[in-house]
Structure 1
């Protein structure tokens, strides 16, 4: 019997944390619980927590201050800075293409290997950028086929 969490666990965790960020459980500017604390609270692996937090960061609901932690974003905090990492840059570029209509609902996104060659990054970096878009409900993954712009993406 496998001890792995069911597929999509990070999406449920992302939703739970998103709700807390929006309802004020985590006030704007306040520090979010550590990865270890979230792992214990939700009984999930650290990688699951990291995927959820990456998605929330990509949505602009929280920000990372290197060496200090993750903080809830809100009207009283500083604006989210422009993308700092390659993953953030790839995510922002693809998000912009989706929002402007360059990538329309149903269109296939570039594969991990295509993105890694285009941006000169590792496949892991490309994969995490695509996962952030997936967690933001802009993209859906069809195993064995690729990732596609969701049909119901609001414009």
Structure 2
């Protein structure tokens, strides 16, 4: 049989030290240089071993801080349904509260960003038309679970009190409630999910290994006239969450 790759041997040794209690959840591992010297291998071998254990949920990387033993983490169920937008307040925070978790997010908004071709097509506008773009990192119990990049046509929200999704009197209230504040009634949304591999940036933000399985969702909200008023690219790590769709049934 071929010899086991060095990084797999090291990952087994690191896993053993965790399972035997030498390192407990929340403990910081020695540096890669220290581990490399201890095991007689290079930094790249330690890095690959740690990335494997991160992808398996045993370790977690913290940018600029190091590698830690991960706290036990249950896979969460995230329900996708338009009805979740009609609760008032933040849909994500309400979803997390239903799971007994504290939900929050970090965001960064840029106004008057030219729409790239794919976003323009989804919004029914011309490529290069101005949009308000907001990038989100959603957190459950301070741990990242979802990423989202939202685009809203500046022609719709420009000059209104909701132009900044995370500013003003309707900050963080969700697309449906914010649009209602300027007289736009959202009647439905279309979501297109597909499996993919995490990019390097996504992996770092979600705390998983590059190439780990994620679910990408293209979501677009439409008003009562069928006009697209917001679209978003959503990324969820499969190791952290399962996606469930709730379908409303009406009887006439």
**Normalised by the size of structure 2, how large is the TM-score?**
0.31
- Structure with more strand by fraction: 2
- Structure with more helix by fraction: 1
**Normalised by the size of structure 1, how large is the TM-score?**
0.49
* Structure exhibiting the larger radius of gyration computed from Cα positions: 2
Q: Which has the bigger relative contact order, CA under 8 A and spacing at least 6? A: 1
